[in-house]
Every structure is written in C-alpha cells, then in structure tokens.
Amino acid sequence: MHYLLTVIGDTTNEVDDSEPGAVDAFNEQLKTDGRWVFGGGLTSPDHATVTDNRGSAPVFSDGPFVESKEYLAGFWVVEADDLDAALELSAGASKACNRKIEVRPFDGIA
C-alpha cells in the first residue's frame, strides 16, 4: 500500500528550519527499511504555472492553482502496511523537516 506524505509549507515561515541533515537521515532510514518509493522537495509556489488545456488551446497562467497561506512544499511516497504504519512514518517526516505533514493513501498506483 502506498501513501503520499505531503509536506505542508507555510508562507509565514518559509525558511528551512529543520535540523541540518535530519531529512537526509530520514530518507536513508526509509530506504533501509524498504519504505522508500519516491520523494522530493519543491521550489516555491511562486514558481508554479497552471496549465489548462480543457478548451481549444492550452492556457498557461502564472502561480499556483490555489492561493493560500499553506502550500505544497514537497512530498514522499512511502510503502506502508496500513494507516498506523504510515502515520508513524509521517511523525518521523514531520520531525525531520519541521513541517506539518498530510497523509493520504493512493487510490491505486501505476
């Protein structure tokens, strides 16, 4: 079972205030434990572009899809047996990157 651990960024505190090396150590642990699928940090939502090609021609617009105080700052995809296992990983993730984490199960994965 795959879970998405979303790192929730906060526009009122954008500096990376995590313990130096904590995220790397967390990643290594995920890999050692066979939990790692994929992960990465994202640049600022200021650098986002929204594409809409539902009409006759694609429209590109500057900025994220939703303006809010909180934004998607990065994510992990992890392998976990159930929600309790995923929540345990998310607690480690939150500690490592000093951010809130949203946990969501994948509805199938390719």
Partner 1 sequence: MDVGEVLTRVHHEEWARVVATLTRRFGDLDIAEEAAAEAFAVAVERWPADSVPPNPGGWLTTTAGNKALDRLRRESKRDDKHRQAHMLSEQTAGFREPPSAVADERLRLVFTCAHPALAMEARVALTLRMVGGLTVPEIARAFLVRETTMAQRITRAKAKVTAARIPYRVPDAEDLPARVDGVLAVLYLVFNEGYLASSADTNPIRADLTGEAVRLTRLVRELMPEDGEVVGLLALMLLIEARRSARVSAHGELVTLDQQDRGAWDRGLIAEGHALVRERLTSTEAPGRYQVLAAINAVHTDAADARDTDWSQVAALYDQLVRLDPSPVVALNRAIAIAELDGPQVALALVDELAAPLADYHAFHATRADLLRRLGRSDDAREAYDRAIHLTGNAAEMAYLTRRRTELAGA
Closest separation in Å from C-beta 31 to partner 1: 20
- Contact between 35 and 90 under an 8 Å Cβ cutoff? The reply is no
Dihedral-angle region of residue 26 (phi above 0 means left; psi in -120 to 50 means alpha; beta otherwise): alpha
Closest separation in Å from C-beta 61 to partner 1: 32
Helix, strand or coil for residue 9? strand
Closest separation in Å from C-beta 91 to partner 1: 11
User: Nearer Cβ to partner 1, position 62 or 107?
Assistant: 107
Binding site for partner 1 (CB under 8 A): 1, 81-85, 87, 103-105, 107
DSSP labels, 14-28: -S--SPTTHHHHHHH
Assigned token pair, 108: 């199938």
Closest separation in Å from C-beta 47 to partner 1: 31
User: Nearer Cβ to partner 1, position 92 or 105?
Assistant: 105
User: Nearer Cβ to partner 1, position 16 or 82?
Assistant: 82
User: Nearer Cβ to partner 1, position 48 or 85?
Assistant: 85
Q: Is residue 85 packed enough to be buried (19+ CB in 10 Å), middle (13-18) or exposed (0-12)?
A: middle
